[in-house]
């Protein structure tokens, strides 16, 4: 792939939470931006001001923190009946992995509850979580960039729908500062629509 799409691996998600590898702060910023949707060149363009290049992506790959998303062949896309705005299956799989993993005990830690706790979440809950996670990461990447670093950390750590929705006001404040009232209000209205759609 000339310009692949990358997503975090389970190890990458764990690194966001645990900081076990003590990554350089620049590499950590790049890792946070990898979300299974943006292509390598778009990601590198966002961190170019920090002096990061393709070697930074290669480092994350070598450490097993990110992986390329398998993309369907063009013919398969053309034959698909799915609408053009539908998220690619690979991204959904990644988001489900994020969701499920956050409800599993950390490696070596005692289980906080009986096994199978994650099964308490209905398919509708999981889909709603996926939509909100997708929305936050896209908005932060497109409108805040590196200024949204700390907010992206909070999104990555959010374990359920209420935790994600608790970030509504911090997102609003960050957008007001970076993009102004009109853009902030429009994006918050979209966020509320995404949340309402998941609640129905």
**What pLDDT was estimated at residue 168?**
93
**What pLDDT was estimated at residue 90?**
41
**Which tokens belong to 145?**
């960039």
Cα distance between residue 101 and residue 124, in whole Å: 17
Locate all alpha helices (DSSP H) within the chain, ordered by sequence. Answer: 10-18, 25-33, 40-47, 54-62, 74-79, 89-102, 123-139, 149-157, 161-165, 168-179, 181-199
pLDDT tens across the length of the chain (200 residues): 578 888 889 898 888 878 888 888 888 888 888 888 888 888 888 777 778 888 999 999 999 999 988 876 555 444 444 444 444 444 444 444 444 544 443 343 333 444 444 446 778 888 888 888 888 988 888 888 778 888 888 888 888 889 999 999 999 999 999 989 999 999 999 999 988 887 76
How far from each other are the two terminal CA atoms of the chain, in whole angstroms?
39
**What pLDDT was estimated at residue 197?**
83
**What pLDDT was estimated at residue 50?**
79
């Amino acid at each position: 792939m000339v310009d692949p799409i990358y997503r975090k691996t389970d190890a990458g998600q764990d690194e966001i939470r645990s900081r076990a590898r003590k990554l350089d702060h620049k590499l950590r910023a790049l890792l946070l931006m990898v979300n299974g949707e943006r292509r390598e060149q778009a990601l590198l363009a966002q961190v170019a001001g920090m002096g990061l290049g393709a070697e930074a992506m290669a480092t994350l790959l070598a450490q097993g923190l990110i992986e390329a998303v398998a993309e369907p062949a063009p013919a398969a896309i053309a034959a698909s009946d799915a609408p053009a705005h539908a998220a690619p299956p690979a991204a959904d799989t990644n988001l489900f992995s994020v969701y499920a993993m956050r409800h599993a005990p950390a490696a070596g830690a005692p289980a906080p509850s009986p096994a199978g706790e994650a099964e308490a979440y209905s398919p509708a809950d999981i889909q709603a979580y996926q939509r909100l996670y997708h929305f936050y990461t896209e908005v932060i990447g497109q409108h805040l960039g590196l200024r949204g670093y700390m907010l992206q950390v909070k999104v990555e750590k959010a374990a359920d729908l209420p935790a994600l929705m608790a970030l509504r006001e911090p997102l609003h404040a960050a957008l007001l500062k970076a993009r102004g009232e009109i853009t902030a209000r429009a994006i918050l209205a979209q966020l509320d629509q995404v949340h309402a759609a998941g609640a129905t």
